[in-house]
Homo-oligomer: A and B are copies of this chain.
Amino acid sequence: MKGYEELYAYFETNLKQQAFDNEPSELYAPIQYTLALGGKRIRPVLTLMACELFGGQIEKALPQAIAIELFHNFTLIHDDIMDDAPLRRGKKTVFKKWNNNIAVLSGDTLFALAYQYVQKTEVNILPITLSVFNKTAIEVCEGQQFDLNFETENDLSVDQYTEMIRLKTAVLFGASLKIGALIGGANNEDAESLYNFGQNIGLGFQLKDDLLDTFGDEKIFGKKTGVDIILNKKTFLYLKALEIADDETRNKLVDFYNNDSKQEEKFREVKAIFSRLKIDQLALEKIDEYCKMGKESLAKINLNTEKKESLLAVAHRMIDREK
């Protein structure tokens, strides 16, 4: 079984060979720019890995791996418009570098291009592959809308938050694995188990993201911490804190999130509350829980443990990371 590094290199080389240099250049330049920004390419690597897990040649899963990465990048271009985000991976976002119209339209094109790669599947598994892809695309849109809604909603539970990140983030990990498994020859039951593995790991991945944003070590994390708190993002940390805090602390937190105060002070104070409530510990426990559920799903698949090791290594890379 090939490991992450080998598959990452294989995917990267092959993605670079897709030119996307058609006309009009105003449409394709932002697509080339976005794909060249890089990233960890975890989703397509998972697709290739799942294919190999069931004895398939990774070449057979390459078009679907590309489809998933294109789809993911389409969502980034459109999400950046909606979040009014100036930077992505340290570079200007498409709508800032070009404009809103070009970001909308190059995103749309990238979405359609993703389907051109979906199409390159053997006809016997095209219906199921397309169906997983469609369901996932719709769910990711729903997740993004819930995320937008949450900005102005004050009565949120941890469960609602979890459902939002499941849709917005976790299902795409599940789908990446399921599609790879189907191409590799898995039966539906095994493909479904792998989907559940991916979804749970995806939930853990997002909670880890929340945790690092507040508690990460900036030197290792490589990004500024405190962004979620400064932007009043209702993450797991915040919602869990509201759930377990006494009335006085809860009111203090709500105050911080509803009134403008000095960014540095706000971050320091809110983080101190989270620490006092041991929210970081609770988050780690929750992440462990997802990790465990993921592994249970993986255990259901009737393949020897050795074969599953590359997948477990990626899961740990997603969850144990400090950056």
Residues of A within 8 A of B (CB): 22-24, 26-27, 78, 81-82, 100-102, 104-105, 107-109, 111-113, 115-116, 118-119, 123-124, 126-127, 130-131, 133-135, 137-138, 141-142, 144-146, 148-149
Residue in contact with A105 in the complex, picked from B78, B124, B127, B133, CB distance below 8 Å:
B78
Checking B82, B107, B130, B138 against A130 with a beta-carbon cut-off of 8 angstroms, the contacting residue is B130
Instruction: Please name all residues of chain B whose beta carbon is closer than 8 Å to the beta carbon of A146 when the two chains form the complex.
Output: 24
Inter-chain pairs besides A27-B145, A102-B145, 4 sampled, C-beta below 8 Å:
A81-B104, A109-B138, A116-B134, A116-B138
Shortest distance from the beta carbon of A242 to any chain B beta carbon, whole Å: 22
Say how far A64's CB is from chain B's closest CB, in angstroms. Answer: 14
Residue ID in chain B nearest A22 by CB atoms: B142
Residues of chain B lying within 8 A (CB to CB) of residue A104:
78, 81-82, 104
How distant is the Cα of A148 from the Cα of B126 in the complex, in angstroms? 35
Nearest B-chain residue to A123, judged by Cβ: B127
Partner of A138, one of B26, B112, B135: B112
Select one of B22, B26, B116, B137 contacting A112, CB under 8 A: B137
CB contacts (< 8 Å) of A101 on chain B: these are 81-82, 148
Chain B residues whose CB sits within 8 angstroms of the CB of A135 once the complex forms? 116
Most buried by B among A112, A131, A134, A146: A112
Contact of A141 among B112, B133, B141 (CB under 8 A): B112
In Å, the complex CA distance between A123 and B135 comes to 18
Cα–Cα distance between A108 and B79 once the two chains are bound (Å):
11
Assess the A26–B111 pair: CB atoms within 8 A: no
Chain B: minimal CB distance from A145 (Å): 4
> How long is the Cα–Cα vector from A118 to B22 in the complex, in angstroms?
25
Given contacts A82-B101, A108-B78, contact A113 B127 (CB under 8 A): no
| A138-B119 in contact given A26-B149, A108-B78 (Cβ < 8 Å) | no
Q: Please name 6 pairs of A and B residues whose Cβ atoms are closer than 8 Å in the assembled complex, sorted by A.
A: A78-B104, A82-B101, A107-B108, A115-B115, A118-B130, A123-B123
Q: Which residues on the B side are within 8 Å of A137 (C-beta)?
A: 112, 115
Contact across chains for A142 and B78 when beta carbons are under 8 A apart? no
Q: Which of B81, B108, B130 contacts A119 (CB 8 A)?
A: B130
